[in-house]
Amino acid sequence: MCSIYSASNAWRVQQVTGEVKRAYRSPLRAESARRTRASVREAATALFVAQGYVRTTVKEIAAAAGVALRTVHTAYPGGKIEIFHEALDVATAGDEAAIAVIDRPEVRESLADPDRLIADLARHGTALLGRAGPLLAACVGSAGADPEMAELNELGARTMAADMRRVAEALDGHGLLAVPVDEAADVLFALCSPMLHDLLVGRRSWTAERYETWLARALRLLLTPR
């Protein structure tokens, strides 16, 4: 449920809007371009995770994707940072739609349903971090050496804080909070963070099922009336 670093979706929306204004392209050509972007993105994701953002070059991405360097520049005119933004957004959302997770219909339904809100938060958050966790770690690891990664890292933290505030307000609106909204938002921000997920799943070898069960129980114990 938490959108983590999907604030970069706003950047992607600008790119999509810009594409609409370009010359008409046939459906076949558009699909071919989409497949090329996906291949480049997947190859780049593997490299970003394996060796970090800073060490990865566009030339290496092209070689890993099996395409010409010019093809990568055509598919992603914004360069390596555009590839990373899109790779992170797709991993976060689970698809290519440029819609932040917090704004998706299934998440809005969860926020409106007091009986499933916490369980859905734990389930969606676990799945999201399972997909996007390695790229988030790459972003954090590169933030000290790359200004664009530092900016994305900070933007993601602000976005997640705002999203967790919306979740806390939804819990409060349903009468489910035993603590102030500000405290609830901070607890959600901490417990749903990619860093904590990495500690338990990545370093302590918890399964996704164990993490999801623990997260739901911890949120209920810390936030809801006894």
Domains of the chain by residue range: 8-223
pTM confidence score: 0.84
Helical spans, DSSP H, in the chain: 8-20, 27-51, 58-65, 69-75, 80-93, 105-111, 117-142, 147-173, 181-191, 194-197, 208-223
CA dihedral 63, 68, 73, 75 (to 10 degrees): -90
pLDDT number for residue 25: 60
pLDDT digits (tens, 9 = 90+) for 88-120: 999 999 998 878 888 899 999 999 999 999 999
Q: How confident is the model at residue 26, as a pLDDT?
A: 81
Distance CA 189, CA 191 (A): 6
> DSSP code of 202?
I
Domain 8-223 is in which class? mainly alpha
Q: Write out pLDDT tens, residues 63-79.
A: 999 999 999 999 999 99
14/89: higher pLDDT: 89
Least confident range of 18-27, 111-120, 140-149, 213-222: 18-27
Q: Which two tokens stand for residue 129?
A: 């971090």
Residue 191 has pLDDT above 90, yes or no: yes
- Residue 21 has what pLDDT? 47
Give the other-Cβ count within 10 Å of 168's Cβ: 24
Residue in 130, 131, 125 with CA at minimum distance from that of residue 190: 125
Q: Percent of the chain scored above 70 by pLDDT?
A: 89
What pLDDT, on a 0 to 100 scale, did the predictor assign at position 4?
Answer: 45
Which range, of 13-22, 95-104, 141-150, 191-200, averages the lowest pLDDT? 13-22
Q: Alpha carbon of 27 to those of 34, 36, 81: distances in Å?
A: 10, 14, 27
Q: Which of 3-17, 23-37, 95-109, 208-222 has the lowest mean pLDDT?
A: 3-17
Q: What is the pLDDT of residue 24?
A: 58
Confidence band for 218, pLDDT divided at 50, 70 and 90: very high
What is the residue-averaged pLDDT of the chain?
A: 90
Does 2 score more than 80 pLDDT? no
